[in-house]
Structure 1
Amino acid sequence: MMKMKYVTLFMLAISVCTIACKNAKPNQKDNALIEKIVPENLKWSERMMLSEIERVPKASMLDFVDKPRWSYTNGLVLSACIKVYEQTNNQKYYDYIYAYANELIDSKGNILTYKLSNQNLDMIKSGDVLLYLYPKTKEERFLKAMETLNSQMESQPKTSDGGYWHKQIYPYQMWLDGLYMAEPFHARYAREYIKDASKVQKIYDDVVLQFDLIQKHSLDKNTGLLYHGWDESKEQKWANKETGNSPHFWSRAMGWYGMAMVDVLDFLPEEHPGRAKIISYLNSFAEAVTKVQHESGLWYQVLDQGNREGNYLEASGTAMFTYAFAKGVRKGYLPEHYLQVANKAYTGIIDNLISIEQNGVVNLNQVCGVAGLGGNPYRDGSFEYYVNEIIRPNDPKGTGPFIMASLELNK
């Protein structure tokens, strides 16, 4: 009887030990055995870039697509990748950039999946990749593709006062997004590839005009914020019947605009009178955006509606503002105190929106997947519309600006 008691106790002890071992969390030793795909001793810019390459080994597949395409998100992330490559000289980054252009530009310079007749400003953004690669490779096909994109700018339909329609399918409409998609490319292409000085001057003037018109039509004078879209015809259901504006201030639209200003100034000549205007617009923008920054350092999806149910602190707009402020200070466009705003925002991202997997891969959480106006199904630009669009981790519209902000702040 005594022998049976000891056997029972022994079996019970083994059972408890087995359950405890199963439920035990991996200790530091176990973690050390997991291979770090992304080393933790690198700067955040490299950690995120390596994480993107791990998640999406082919840049043509960025943005959760099932087949390769030429689009603005690819150009956004690869613009960030170019900056990382220039800092590190790591061939892996150059190969990632080159592979995108190599895959989507055929031997005759045709851009696969692109249609000029769509007159879509979003498609210009990836031209930045070609502006970078052509001087290094001298591949004629890259030059031909750039010439195609520039020809789109020449034929892009315009509002009555000269503002580019966002797309052929969105007639009479200017969106804040469009200035980032097209104007840095247009200004740089003119400076580096057009020989006729009068044509170059005309393009510079046209670039500046786009910023003038957005300020004229989309600025809310009470808050200093800018509405996502403006419809000259005032026919869209989302358009205010008096002003033509969409109803809300969307964080990422304002982010695109901020990045457009600091980036286009890289290519606009010092002596061009438009520089001073864009710098003044940037200062007004920075003041208005800072007023609606959350105490965490982040910004809301709908910028001025932080107290409304359903609104949330969103990653892509926050990363874009961080980049615009940090670069604006570095280049002397903005007063020094905006660097504190940028650092507060960056700390907010790291503390609230970044998570790291055991293998070292870095995630950026709480990114709005997409938002637009009109189309089919119809997007009405309402508060409910913006806060109910998909929210997902690692959307390239967030990771790209995060990498660029990380580089600007040298984090």
Structure 2
Amino acid sequence: MKHLNYFSMKHAVCLWVVSIFGIASTPVFSQSWVDAVDRHGREMYMPAAQYKWDWGQATFLNALVQLYKASGEVQKKTYLNYIKQAMDASFNVANGKHPNAVASAHGMAFLARITGEKKYLDKCNEIYADYLKIPRAPNGGVSHRAETVELWDDTVYMLNMFLLEMYRLTGDEKYIADFVEQFKAHQEKLIDAKSGLWVHGWDADQADYNDGCSIMGWPDPVTRKSSEIWARGNGWIGMALSDALNTISKKSKYRKQLEKAFLQYVAAIAPLQNRESGHWYQLPTLVNEPKNFLESSATAMFAYTITMGLKMHMLDQKKYGPMADRSYNGIIKNSLRDAGNGYKVPARVSGGTCIGDENYYLGRKITEGTGFGYGAFIMFGLAYEQYKGLRK
């Protein structure tokens, strides 16, 4: 089987031990490729003043929130300043009229929690009111499109970022209830019984809607489900489950059902990893399809999910630890481009994708960067380095 050529590069994780008078200090973490990707994202790809209120950028912003949580006081200011500038720059256009718009609102909720400024809380409440008005499927699932009712697997994560941050802000479990409702509604319509993964979309009626991006006629005439199991779409699901479990209390009434869904999900994706590269394929279940290719953003998402399961002691270290190792090392070897000046850029990223048939997914443009590319790489790399004790 033919694959894209791999990039060769040096490992960028450095540890050193300083010995003074024969006594070794605690290992100290130096900058890794995660920091190099973060810097390029903030300084070159999406300067805060140019922040665009959209889903890809929201994923990158969520990675910066996680870096904020993991950083010391000095570096925290860098991330807080970026998030504040980005939210202030987009404040007047911020809304929650569809899931991709709701996604960036987690930045507003984060600022309301960290700064206590009332304007951010007021904006969050406005966006939540918008969210409640989004069209819904008969089972309560929020439509991915405002013009017609369709359930897409992407939606679960786009809503998840905002709802979890609202829970962190308020402590009100109604936001967790919202997430669980959406997860269950989407799972009901999108789950593929054979693989345990989700197809990309489901249409609520018999009329095909032309969104200018998807292939016309994608819904099955009987089930109204799309035909393909797409890697990044399933990546969003794993990250949403991981972050929900990492946020809610172990005593929450929602815990057991989310844990069950998480373990079933990991059991479905784990056997599909390409051991040589540590990556997953664009269409993950079609491992023997000659046109299929290894895709990095979904790889980072799947690996993030597994790493978070290891961090939360939900997964067996002997079984799943090597999978996380393979992905981390595989990304370094295969899916990072050295951009000079200490920058690194995610490579092997499939571009923005709507719903189509097998050839549609396998014909997507392979690009680099993208908000979801930066975000997924940073979140996985950070989680992995924390799991391995490389970041204190």
TM over 0.5, shorter chain:
yes
- Describe the superposition over 1:381-407 as per-residue Cα deviations: whole angstroms up to 9, x where unpaired: 111111222221112211111111111
- The aligned amino acid for 2:257 is K
SS in 2 for 1:92: helix
Matches within 5 A, 1:305-384: 305-336=286-317, 337-373=319-355, 381-384=356-359
Q: Please state how far the C-alpha of 1:369 moved relative to its aligned partner.
A: 1.4
- Describe the superposition over 1:273-296 as per-residue Cα deviations: whole angstroms up to 9, x where unpaired: 332112111111111111211122
In structure 1, how many angstroms separate the alpha carbons of the residues matched to 2:168 and 2:329? 37
- The aligned amino acid for 2:88 is N
Q: Which blocks of at least 5 consecutive residues in structure 2 are unaligned?
A: 1-28, 209-216
In structure 1, how many angstroms separate the alpha carbons of the residues matched to 2:113 and 2:258? 29
- Within the alignment, does 1:387 sit opposite 2:357 as a pair? no
- Within the alignment, does 1:95 sit opposite 2:81 as a pair? yes
- The aligned amino acid for 2:279 is L
Query: Match for residue 25 of structure 1?
Result: none
SS in 2 for 1:265: helix
- The aligned amino acid for 2:189 is H
* Alpha-carbon distance change, 41 to 272 in structure 1, aligned in 2, over 3 angstroms: closer
SS in 1 for 2:202: strand
In structure 1, how many angstroms separate the alpha carbons of the residues matched to 2:289 and 2:333? 23
- Describe the superposition over 1:256-312 as per-residue Cα deviations: whole angstroms up to 9, x where unpaired: 111111112244443333321121111111111112111221011111223323321
Query: Match for residue 301 of structure 1?
Result: 282
Query: Match for residue 376 of structure 1?
Result: none
* Alpha-carbon distance change, 267 to 234 in structure 1, aligned in 2, over 3 angstroms: farther
In structure 2, how many angstroms separate the alpha carbons of the residues matched to 1:268 and 1:184? 13
Query: Match for residue 36 of structure 2?
Result: 47
Contact 2:157 2:237 in 1 (8 A): yes
State the TM-score, normalized to the length of structure 1: 0.78
SS in 1 for 2:221: coil
* Alpha-carbon distance change, 248 to 95 in structure 1, aligned in 2, over 3 angstroms: same
- Within the alignment, does 1:260 sit opposite 2:240 as a pair? yes
In structure 2, how many angstroms separate the alpha carbons of the residues matched to 1:258 and 1:43? 25
Q: Please state how far the C-alpha of 1:353 moved relative to its aligned partner.
A: 0.9
- Within the alignment, does 1:246 sit opposite 2:232 as a pair? no
Q: Please state how far the C-alpha of 1:71 moved relative to its aligned partner.
A: 1.2
Q: Which blocks of at least 5 consecutive residues in structure 1 are unaligned?
A: 1-39, 62-67, 106-110, 195-199, 374-380
Query: Match for residue 225 of structure 1?
Result: 197
- Describe the superposition over 1:10-42 as per-residue Cα deviations: whole angstroms up to 9, x where unpaired: xxxxxxxxxxxxxxxxxxxxxxxxxxxxxx951
Contact 2:218 2:226 in 1 (8 A): yes
In structure 2, how many angstroms separate the alpha carbons of the residues matched to 1:227 and 1:234? 18
In structure 2, how many angstroms separate the alpha carbons of the residues matched to 1:234 and 1:409? 45
Q: Please state how far the C-alpha of 1:98 moved relative to its aligned partner.
A: 1.6
- The aligned amino acid for 1:279 is E
Q: Please state how far the C-alpha of 1:321 moved relative to its aligned partner.
A: 0.7
Contact 2:349 2:366 in 1 (8 A): yes
- Describe the superposition over 1:39-62 as per-residue Cα deviations: whole angstroms up to 9, x where unpaired: x9512221211121232352354x
In structure 1, how many angstroms separate the alpha carbons of the residues matched to 2:181 and 2:300? 27
Matches within 5 A, 1:4-403: 41-56=30-45, 58-59=47-48, 61=50, 68-89=51-72, 90=75, 91-105=77-91, 111-112=92-93, 114=94, 116=96, 119-169=97-147, 171-190=148-167, 192-193=169-170, 200=172, 202-236=174-208, 237-295=217-275, 296-336=277-317, 337-373=319-355, 381-403=356-378
- The aligned amino acid for 2:330 is G
Q: Please state how far the C-alpha of 1:203 moved relative to its aligned partner.
A: 4.4
In structure 2, how many angstroms separate the alpha carbons of the residues matched to 1:173 and 1:340? 38
- The structure that has the greater radius of gyration is 1
In structure 2, how many angstroms separate the alpha carbons of the residues matched to 1:55 and 1:288? 37
Q: What RMSD over aligned residues (CA atoms) do the two structures have, in Å?
A: 2.2
Q: Please state how far the C-alpha of 1:351 moved relative to its aligned partner.
A: 1.0
Contact 1:258 1:282 in 2 (8 A): yes
In structure 2, how many angstroms separate the alpha carbons of the residues matched to 1:203 and 1:357? 40
Identity between Structure 1 and Structure 2 (%): 26
SS in 1 for 2:287: coil
Contact 2:228 2:357 in 1 (8 A): yes
In structure 2, how many angstroms separate the alpha carbons of the residues matched to 1:320 and 1:60? 27
In the TM superposition, structure 1's runs of 4+ consecutive aligned residues that sit over 4 Å from their partners are: 200-203
In structure 2, how many angstroms separate the alpha carbons of the residues matched to 1:317 and 1:87? 23
State the TM-score, normalized to the length of structure 2: 0.82
SS in 2 for 1:42: coil
SS in 2 for 1:371: coil
* Alpha-carbon distance change, 307 to 73 in structure 1, aligned in 2, over 3 angstroms: same
Contact 2:106 2:163 in 1 (8 A): no
Which region of structure 1 is more displaced relative to structure 2, 78-87 or 311-320?
A: 78-87
Query: Match for residue 404 of structure 1?
Result: 379
Q: Please state how far the C-alpha of 1:188 moved relative to its aligned partner.
A: 3.9
- Describe the superposition over 1:219-238 as per-residue Cα deviations: whole angstroms up to 9, x where unpaired: 11111121011223254311
SS in 2 for 1:125: helix
